[in-house]
Chain A
Amino acid sequence: MAEMWITMGPQHPMTHGLWTLRVKVDGETVTDTEAELGYIHRGVEKICEARDFTQITPYCDRLCYVSAMTWAHSYIMAAEDLLEAEVPERAEYIRLMAAEVQRLASHLMWLGAFGPDIGNLTLMTWCLRDREMFLDLLQELGGSRMHYNYPRVGGVKRDIPIGWADRMKAKVKLFENRINEYEMLLDESTIWLVRLQGVGYATAEDQLNAGVTGPNIRAAGVNTDARWTNPYSVYDQVDWEPAVEKPTSVKGADCYDRYRVRMEEMRQSCRMLLDAIEKIPGGANTHYQPGDEMILTKAPTRAPEGATGFSTYECTRGVSNFYIQGGGDGRGKNPYRLSIRSPMFITIPYVAKTMIGYKIADIPAIMGSFDPCIGETDR
């Protein structure tokens, strides 16, 4: 049969965003693919050259609306490296908890979007229900539901409110039981297993060489996680271990392993949250006023020419990096150049190539299992 090109996207449920996957098919079998990105390129890097270091945080929130908190923190870490800012320990604990709540919300959004890809609509309603709990927690910190503008150079904008600790503990404990419910729903479902097992193999070394990081690589049997390989914040003081899955084949992790590793990662985030709230310096039910030295230290606002800042941060989809050069407009008030490394920008072309040899019907399963997010891809 003659081969032909099919265009999936930019409007297609598989894409989880706005991009195009061009697929060359021979009958039902994929023989070649091409990813086309850039549909929502907003020029964030250029915009940031005309903003000062505080004004940049909201732009970084909007890199990925599913995971705004981790992206803002990733930027702030690079800015602190550039501006030589110190962070109080209480603020580090708050940041850790904010990022882990965001990780739960983000993985729930992934699972909720992945369910309908595979034919399980119940999952979406369940996941969005639980995600609201965590968005409410984040809203209490940042003031809005999705884009929080929460971290500041040298600390955080506001302390955790009174009662936040109790609400968080209750929600996390409830959610720990809900994860078991999800697994009962999914792991007993024949459709779920048949569509995920044995498709989309990717080995650890291949993925890393191609730049794929985060849960996708931990699914292939290695516990590499930037939270301990490139330590930051207080991850060395709280109780957790990186989620890692045993791949089912020498060919590496399949879609099912990638699903399993994210479920485990949610459990680890819960464990971390419950431990961090007990250990937080200054007490879990204390509220320091904004600007208090327990949560924010004064930091310089200008960086000289030639200074650089670089951060390696474990975002929900992999390792994100920011690289900032000081000495821009306004006598160093703005960055001269700010560069963003999005894990998904590298992952999507790689995933497109791993689909070769599978059937068209496997494409949503393979693509969805890598958790694409186009906001951060196109920047």
Chain B
Amino acid sequence: MGTTVTKEQNAEAAKAAADNLNARFSDAGVSTDVVAHKGGMKYDFVRITCSPDQWIGVAKHLKHELGVNHCAMVTGTHYPSGDDGRGWEVAYHMHRWPITNVKAHTMIVHEGEKLKGDDIPMEFEIFIPLPAGDSPSVPSIQDLWEGADWNEKETWDLVGIDFEGHVNMHRVLNPHDSPVGFHPLQRQHKIRYHDYNEMYDDPQGFGRKPVDEGRVK
């Protein structure tokens, strides 16, 4: 049998992490919940929503108190028609895994069922809503997790979120001479066939109708 982390361990660790965060940050307005996945094995994870100026404090707490050691991904989203409070959003996904350095010629073989406390693997999802405007910006966590470095570069490159304090920001996926201010995942940039349902019948657009006027093809 393969080793695994049981549902009880997972629920216990998620609750402990959420309680810890709530005790420390709920007065400041950071909301923390335990959320269950809706697919797969329906394990719990911790979802945090905070504002950009609270983010560094929360991030340091995650790293140093809760043992979060892997910054998996940074996702920026553009909501041009969103509410006033949210024109952009940055989502961070992080993991906690029981990983430590080993001595030469030794190894650590964890048995999932026996892990306790902060050793139990856990997922963290952090949402940071940003106000609408032309210059969305959050503080960089590049110096806390080295893995956030290229994730932040990518998010700036594709979505145009500024990461304050990020050292050596440059284009990574788009051409290096892309125009300043061009970030293709912003919603004003349409690709072919967005909102256009005849793509398969009429790839070259010869049969366009007046109703399609102005749509991108």
Contacts and interface: CB of A to CB of B under 8 A. Distances in A.
A229 B99 CA distance: 11
B189 to A, nearest CB: 8
A341 B93 contact: yes
Contacts of B175: 38
Interface in B88-113: 91, 93, 95, 97-110, 112
A301 B164 CA distance: 39
B184 interface: yes
Contacts of A172: none
Interface stretch (B52-60, B132-140, B147-155): B147-155
A250 B105 CA distance: 9
A158 interface: no
Interface residues of A, number: 79
A23 to B, nearest CB: 18
B18 interface: no
B121 A209 contact: no
B93 to A, nearest CB: 6
B5 interface: yes
Interface range for B: 35 or more
B107 A211 contact: no
B27 to A, nearest CB: 26
A319 B99 CA distance: 15
Contact of A205 (B100, B104, B176): B100
Contacts of B17: none
Given A204-B100, A229-B5, A231-B41, A345 B91 contact: no
Given A37-B172, A224-B99, A229-B121, A237 B40 contact: no
Given A81-B40, A208-B70, A240-B2, A217 B99 contact: yes
Contacts of B149: 349
B75 interface: yes
Given A323-B75, A323-B93, A346 B99 contact: no
Among B40, B43, B108, residue most surrounded by chain A Cβ atoms (within 10 Å): B40
Contacts of A80: 38-40
Contact of B37 (A43, A81, A213): A81
A219 B43 CA distance: 28
A26 B147 CA distance: 28
Contacts of B171: 38
B197 to A, nearest CB: 8
A345 B152 CA distance: 12
A77 interface: yes
Contacts of B146: 209-211, 350
A209 B145 contact: yes
B106 A81 contact: no
B211 interface: no
Given A81-B38, A246-B107, A345-B154, A213 B2 contact: no
Contacts of B73: 321, 323, 339, 341
B112 A229 contact: yes
Contact of A82 (B39, B105, B176): B39
Nearest to A249: B104
Contacts of A250: 101, 103-104
Given A45-B185, A49-B194, A228-B2, A246 B70 contact: no
A245 B102 CA distance: 11
Interface string A295-312: 000000000000011111
A238 B1 CA distance: 5
Interface string A261-289: 00000000000100000000000000000
A214 to B, nearest CB: 12
Nearest to A213: B70
Among B41, B75, B108, B154, residue most surrounded by chain A Cβ atoms (within 10 Å): B75
B31 interface: no
A246 B101 contact: no
A34 to B, nearest CB: 10
A231 B123 CA distance: 12
16 contacts: A38-B173, A41-B173, A79-B39, A208-B70, A209-B146, A211-B150, A211-B151, A221-B108, A222-B98, A224-B98, A224-B110, A229-B5, A231-B43, A248-B104, A312-B123, A321-B72
Closest 3 CB pairs of A and B: A211-B147, A80-B39, A221-B102
Interface of A: 36-38, 41, 43, 45-47, 49-50, 77-85, 87, 203-205, 208-213, 217, 220-224, 227-233, 235-242, 244-250, 252, 272, 308-312, 319, 321, 323, 325, 329, 336-337, 339, 341, 345-346, 349-350, 378-379
Given A205-B99, A223-B107, A312-B72, 12 more contacts: A41-B173, A81-B39, A82-B39, A211-B146, A220-B102, A222-B107, A224-B98, A229-B5, A238-B2, A272-B2, A309-B38, A309-B39
